[in-house]
Amino acid sequence: MEPIVDEVAPTLNALCACWNNLDQPAIQNLWDPKEAEPYFLPQEIKEPIIGWDKLTTYYATAQARLVRCSMRIWDVHAKLLSPGLAVALYQMHWNGELKSVDHLFGIDSRVTALLRNRDDQWMICHYVEAPAAPMLHLQKYYASNVDSDFLIDRPQQSQLDQNND
C-alpha cells in the first residue's frame, strides 16, 4: 500500500462512517474549510455541485430523504500531486433506502477525490463519483442470472483459446 493511502484513509473512513450513521452534516466537516469553491459531482444528480451553499443543501436534502444508508470503499490508491495535495482513486459501494420509495438502492461506483493537508488532516476539496457504464452493469446482471449447473460445465479460458488455434 502506498504510504499516502495510510494518511488519507482516516478521512475516507470518516466519510463512510458519516453515511453509515446518517450524519450527512458531518460530511461537510471533512471538506477543506479554506477551499473557496468546492467541487462535487455525485453520481445520482445531473448538475455538478459548486460552492458551499449548494454543498450544504445537497447534504441536508440527502439527510431529509434517507431512511438509512451505508457506504464502503476498497481498492484505495493515492498519490501526492504536490506537497500537501493528494489524489485518491477507489471503488465504492453505496446502499440506500429513501422515504416514500418502496425499493432499496445499491450501486458500485468509482471515485476520485482531491484532498488537501490542513494541520495534519487530509480534507476533501474536489470529489467525483463515476458509475460504471451501463454495459458493465448489464454484463454483471446477465452473469448473475446464469444457472449454477451451467457454470459447472463451462470450459476454462485456456481450453477455449486452444480450440481457436
Q: Residue 70 pLDDT > 60, yes or no?
A: yes
pLDDT value, residue 37: 96
Domain ranges (residues) in the chain: 3-133
**Residue 9 burial by Cβ neighbours in a 10 Å radius (0-12, 13-18, 19+):** middle
pLDDT value, residue 126: 97
- Percent of the chain topping pLDDT 90: 72
Residues 145-150 have a mean pLDDT of 82
In the predicted model, what is the mean pLDDT of the chain?
A: 89
Give the pairing of strands 39-41 and 121-131.
parallel
**What number does CATH give the domain 3-133?**
3.10.450.50
The Cα 32–Cα 25 span in angstroms is 14
Strand order of the sheet with strand 85-98? 49-50, 39-41, 121-131, 105-118, 85-98, 66-82
Runs of H (alpha helix) within the chain: 3-20, 24-27, 52-65, 134-144, 148-152, 157-163
- The larger pLDDT score, comparing residue 110 to residue 147, is at 110
For 90-137, how does the pLDDT look when each residue is reduced to its tens digit (9 = 90+)? Answer: 999 999 999 999 999 898 999 999 999 999 999 999 999 998 777 776
Confidence bin at 146 (pLDDT 50/70/90):
confident
Minimal CA–CA distance to 12: which of 80, 82, 64, 90?
90
Q: Residue 24 pLDDT > 60, yes or no?
A: yes
CA dihedral (116, 119, 123, 126) positive or negative: negative
Runs of H (alpha helix) within 21-156: 24-27, 52-65, 134-144, 148-152
Residues 139-158 have a mean pLDDT of 76
Residues 25-44 have a mean pLDDT of 94
